[in-house]
Amino acid sequence: MTTQVSVDTDEKLALIAHLMRRVGVGVRQDRLESLATESYEDLVERLLTPSDYSDPDVDLLDRYLPQSSSPDSYQTWACRWMYNLAESDRPLREKMALFWHHVFATAWYKAENGPAIVKQIETFKQNGLGKLRDILLDLSKDPNMIYWLDNSESRDGAVNENYGRELLELFSMGIGTYTENDVKMAARAFTGWTFEQPIPLYPYGGFESGFIYRPEQHDESEKEFLGHKGNFNGEDIIDIIVRQEDCARFITRHLYNFFVADEPQVPAWSITPPQDQEAIDELVETFMESEGDMTQVMRTLLNADWFKNARFRKIKSPSEFVAGAIVLSGTPEVPEPAIAGLNTATTVMGQSLMNPPTVEGWHTGKEWLDSGTLTERVNFAVNQVSDIDQPGIRSIISRIEMSDVRTPGALVNSCLELTGNLSVSSDTHEALLELATQIGTLTFDDDDARKESSEKISRLLQLIVSAPEYQFA
């Protein structure tokens, strides 16, 4: 009976560790054990109601790194976002914002307006679990998006089709689900949707802008869109889109790719079926029944067996990788200057938050990795676990000391558990076991012995985070 309880407990911890890697970037073992005191289903419900929690206390961050609160520099504000990814008690709020930022990609390199970009991300945080209709409406009125896709230049008699095209192709339905005429009609419906010019940048820095509708610039003629006829405005177009099953399939495949398992890249979706059609069908059914309610769709996703069984089937994005490594090592009580370099760390790994390469966002999965980016990942993670004075590493060492680990195999298993219930191949396990055997017996009898044993544990942790399996969530 005791053995059965232990197995069940271990399985529950592994399952919740999987959940927290997907809705956030992972948690340390002490936090994991605390979360495991409630049922999986109850935990999912708490994660889906982020209003019940508060954001991380950033007073110290503002005090020691005041530049991180400035929206004028997207690089430093991106560091603040990753700090929140690592520290927030409502990780799904941050993760949904990251998801929508990938789908609705806008970049600094064109807009060059930090406040507009920051405001957009904050909108994703606030409304990311709401109804898709409202999310798309907010997006269509977002000054950053309006400028990014040139809708500020679109008016009756001089229509710019960029936003109408990307709304259908990349934001809601996907290639092959609409006609060229639908693009033209959508673009005409959004004429007159623009923004107020912000106050000039100098000498006080960037200022926010606001949405404005100019009726004199709007095309008032009849339009035919996806089989519907009428004198449509932008809101009407969105209403029609979110009622389409093609929209449900496109958005839910994005959700599957981001939260469940790596899919082919978006341009291939029109010719490559989903790897788990039944999962997509289940999500589509929820989407259609709930009228595109993202909370309901995510509830279905997170409670599904196919989600629970999809462990370590996603390669971490650079931002997930960096924030997860920070969680493992533990953020210091006083923010360190190194936090200001987190955006640089993800950039050399292939992802600069708030500056995606194209309107298509980033290519994901195995395309995150090449010889250069993999080297950067390994070096970053190794540096995080090399410092035995980091709070997270001290905690791991302390738990190993208290568990009285006696054999190399027990040490390996303990370290794998404390680095996120990591599952590794037999080859990786053999390499870890070989190092643990070389390390020999751990002793904590005095300060010198404790330091020596701590450094030995750190060596094993360094090998773990260098392993291929650590790249997966």
pLDDT over 60 at 1, yes or no = no
pLDDT over 60 at 7, yes or no = no
Residue 472 contacts residue 426 (beta carbons within 8 Å):
no
Q: Which residues contact 434 (CB under 8 A, 6 or more apart)?
A: none
Which two structure tokens, joined as six digits, stand for 83?
Answer: 């700090």
Return the residue matching tokens 């005095």: 446
At 313 the pLDDT is 96
At 373 the pLDDT is 97
Distance CA 388, CA 365 (A): 32
Torsion angle of the four alpha carbons 154, 158, 162, 166, in this order, in degrees rounded to the nearest 10? 80
pLDDT over 60 at 328, yes or no = yes
Q: Which residues contact 234 (CB under 8 A, 6 or more apart)?
A: 137, 140, 189, 190, 193
pLDDT band at 203; cut points 50, 70, 90: low
- Picking from 439, 442, 438, the residue whose alpha carbon sits closest to that of residue 401 is 442
- Picking from 126, 174, 167, 128, the residue whose alpha carbon sits closest to that of residue 148 is 167
At 52 the pLDDT is 62
Rank 160-174, 207-221, 337-351 by mean pLDDT and report only the highest.
160-174
Q: What's 219's DSSP letter?
A: -
At 54 the pLDDT is 64
Angle in degrees, CA 151, 106, 111, rounded to 5: 70
At 53 the pLDDT is 63
| CA 14 from centroid of its chain's CA atoms | 20
Distance CA 386, CA 364 (A): 28
At 58 the pLDDT is 73
pLDDT over 80 at 200, yes or no = no
Distance CA 101, CA 121 (A): 7
At 140 the pLDDT is 98
Q: pLDDT digits over 11-61, tens only? A: 999 999 999 999 999 999 999 999 999 999 999 999 999 776 666 667 777
Quickly count: other Cβ atoms within 10 Å of residue 381's Cβ: 25
Distance CA 164, CA 124 (A): 21
Q: Write the single-letter amino acid at 81.
A: W
| CA 229 from centroid of its chain's CA atoms | 38
> What is the arithmetic mean of pLDDT over 376-398?
96
pLDDT band at 5; cut points 50, 70, 90: very low
Mean of pLDDT over the chain: 92
**Single pTM value for the model:** 0.94
**Mode of pairing for the β-strands spanning 193-195 and 228-230:** unpaired
**More confident call, 423 vs 197:** 423
Distance CA 85, CA 21 (A): 11
At 204 the pLDDT is 66
Which two structure tokens, joined as six digits, stand for 220?
Answer: 């008032």
Question: What is the DSSP secondary-structure string of 433-460?
Answer: HHHHHHH-----SSHHHHHHHHHHHHHH
Residue 92 contacts residue 48 (beta carbons within 8 Å):
yes
Handedness of CA 81, 82, 85, 86 (dihedral sign): negative
- Picking from 391, 358, 373, the residue whose alpha carbon sits closest to that of residue 315 is 373
**More confident call, 199 vs 375:** 375
Which two structure tokens, joined as six digits, stand for 237?
Answer: 């177009």
Distance CA 85, CA 95 (A): 7
With a pLDDT cut of 90, the percent of the chain lying above it is: 80
Distance CA 97, CA 50 (A): 13
pLDDT over 50 at 3, yes or no = no
> What is the arithmetic mean of pLDDT over 111-121?
88
